Structure 1
Amino acid sequence: MSMWTRGTFLALLCVLPLLEGCTRHSKKEHYYLVAVNVQLPYWTTAAEGFQKAATEYGVTAVVRGPKNFDPQAELQELRSVVALKPTGILISVTNPDLLGPEIDAAISAGIPVITMDSDAPASKRLYFIGTNNIQAGRLGGQRAAAMLNGKGNVVFFTMPGQPNLDERLKGYKDVFSDYPGIKIVEVFDMKGDSGLAMDKAQQYIALKGKDRIDAFICLQSSSGRDVGEALRRAKAEGDSGRLLVAMDTDLPTLQLIKDGVIDSTISQKPYTMALIGLKALDEIHHYPTDNPMKGDYELDPFAPFPAFVDTGVSLVDKGNVEGILTRRQSGPQ
């Protein structure tokens, strides 16, 4: 080997580790998104955001969770993920009492956990990324109250006990408290099954006279399209004047707004939540703060993390649905 060649070789040996250090990411870094109903459009959209961030960073993204609404199955998935010792976990919490201890166990094991979509504020999770759900409920409540002219019988479709949905219900109730003419007839537990919501909607539609239901409000995404389908069929048979305010922007919901069956829906950003979530976990992994898992950050004025990252909420109705529908159909760029 010549003197020049040997010198070049030795120089490369010195530089290569530095070059490798410049690329901080690795496919060996595994980030997990844990949720339920993972095949719903809401969660497939979130998965796209999660994978987009992983592709940008050159890391591995995995989505785990049951295909139906099953908090116990989500707990088992979370336990399985924690056992893998991943780089970080992003989780939507169906039941904070059930999942909180396992989140705490992950944090104690040194695994960063951030909640998205639905929070477990009493747990040791680092922070929450998602919608201000009380504000989402208030936005929907203001729309419903205006369209009802301040009076009418109202029913809700939800899953009581899930924090984000309970907060939306509270937001609606906050608004309705100013309208004594609006009566909440029932808060129906759809148990994560939009088919049950559709069946119950048909029963509500059959009520007449003073028991007539004037407004149907869906606090969970999948129920909007099926309750909307029940109203569409009733409308085709001459039943009209019913109000439906839905949640989220899956394509069937948007199409039913365009068709005049659903009045409006409250839009949130699952893609953005998951995109930001993975990037936040990556930042924590590569640039850890002092004792990053052991602080009480809620009241700390010098906390390294926010308490809540609000990804925004808006109302979609017939006036702006076309642009949202086009954007949804084109997908992420």
Structure 2
Amino acid sequence: MKKSLQMVTATVALSILSATSPAMAETKASTPFKCKPGETYYMNVMVSGVEYWFPVYEMMKEAARSMGCKTVYTGTPEYDVNKQLASFEQILAKKPAGILLHPMNPDPFIEPINRAAEMGIPVVTFAADSPNSKRVSFITSDNYQEGKFAADAVAEDMGGKGEYAVLENPGQDNHDRRVSAFIARMKSKWPDMKLVSRAASNTDATKAYNSVMTMAQAHPNLGAVFMPEATSAMGAAQAAKELGGKIRVFNADVNAKILDMIKQGEIFGAVNPNQGMQGYMGMMLLYMAAHPGLIDPMNDHDRAGYNPMSVPFVDNGFSIVTKANADDFYWDKYLAKRGTKGINE
């Protein structure tokens, strides 16, 4: 089992441009990759207390600090698209330099992202996308590869034969991709692995617990269950434990509780995006989009009137987390190593 996968689908050259370059008028007035006093970038998410976001913001801060920029962590504690939209509107009212956004659902964010673009405020999406909007870039791990590697890990441990189920969160595009890729991989590479049940747990541990209990009752030979996020895994793992520990629980994303359960053998494993790269590259992409004078590609951006900084997709890679490497993913240890206060600074 590979510990890490890096799929480079876009190469971003972050060159320090000459301050005397005649083609780069902006650099004559300021040092490239250096923010102006008070220049502030925001990060916006839903369920803002979820540990997943913290390393993203940590490395967004790191990139911003190196350029003298300010950052602000924002969002809504609820899993509610309307409340996240409201928090996004509050950011727009402050007229920030740019926004690093994890949109809960793609379509509701099309209009506000497009309006931000019209206001000259670039938006970079991460982990989940709004592809039909005017966001300038999208950075994520390859959700299809995540589902594929998760399927291989589960099937190999089961000897390539048995019954499995999935829990879902329909409507969140990165979750949907992970699930569809997991199922597709089982069908193509592991034909003796049979999908016997699927249920919508909607990132709810109680729903996940009840679903696994019901699945196991209907399918006594159930050997594994996959879910595209961490919250459902806690409920699924509790159910699997009560059922005798024969059901392998494999999920995406980790937090301290998930890591503890992996080390204790209650969760078989997890796939985890390299969140820090999402934040670091997200900040660099935002800065370039907010300073388009630094970019002069050989295209029609002047004639067409669009931001010359546009990188459709950057892959930040991911890791497979097992008992062997779980200690490397604890947030408190990461903060202690870095000597920072995380989202509280």
* TM-score interval, smaller chain: 0.7 to 0.9
Residue 320 in structure 1 maps to residue 330 in structure 2: no
Matched to 2:127, the amino acid is D
Q: Say if 1:198 and 1:102 are closer, same or farther in 2 by CA, change over 3 A.
A: same
1:218 deviates by 1.7
Q: Say if 1:212 and 1:292 are closer, same or farther in 2 by CA, change over 3 A.
A: farther
Aligned to 1:93: 103
1:327 deviates by 7.9
Greater per-residue helix proportion:
1
Aligned partner of 1:225 among 221, 230, 234: 234
TM-score by length of 2: 0.79
1:198 deviates by 3.0
1:108–1:293 CA contact under 8 A, matched in 2 = no
What is the rounded CA distance, in whole Å, between the counterparts of 1:249 and 1:35 in structure 2? 17
What is the rounded CA distance, in whole Å, between the counterparts of 1:326 and 1:165 in structure 2? 23
Aligned to 1:119: 129
What is the rounded CA distance, in whole Å, between the counterparts of 2:130 and 2:31 in structure 1? 36
Aligned to 1:275: 280
Aligned to 2:5: none
Q: Say if 1:116 and 1:293 are closer, same or farther in 2 by CA, change over 3 A.
A: farther
Residue 194 in structure 1 maps to residue 205 in structure 2: yes
Gaps (5+ residues) in structure 1? 1-17, 298-302
Query: Could you give the per-residue CA deviations for residues 60-112 of structure 1, whole angstroms, max 9, x where no partner exists?
Result: 21222221211121122222222322100111122111112211111122111
1:211 deviates by 4.7
Aligned pairs (5 A) from 1:116-265: 116-178=126-188, 179-205=190-216, 207=217, 210-232=219-241, 234=242, 239-265=244-270
Aligned partner of 2:41 among 8, 15, 31: 31
2:102–2:127 CA contact under 8 A, matched in 1 = yes
Taking only aligned residues, the RMSD between alpha carbons, in angstroms, comes to 2.8
Aligned residues: 304
Gaps (5+ residues) in structure 2? 1-26, 339-345
2:233–2:251 CA contact under 8 A, matched in 1 = yes
1:326 deviates by 6.4
Aligned partner of 1:41 among 51, 54, 58: 51
Aligned partner of 1:106 among 83, 92, 116: 116
Matched to 1:154, the amino acid is Y
- Relative contact order higher in (CA < 8 Å, ≥ 6 apart): 2
Identity of aligned residues (%): 25
TM-score by length of 1: 0.81
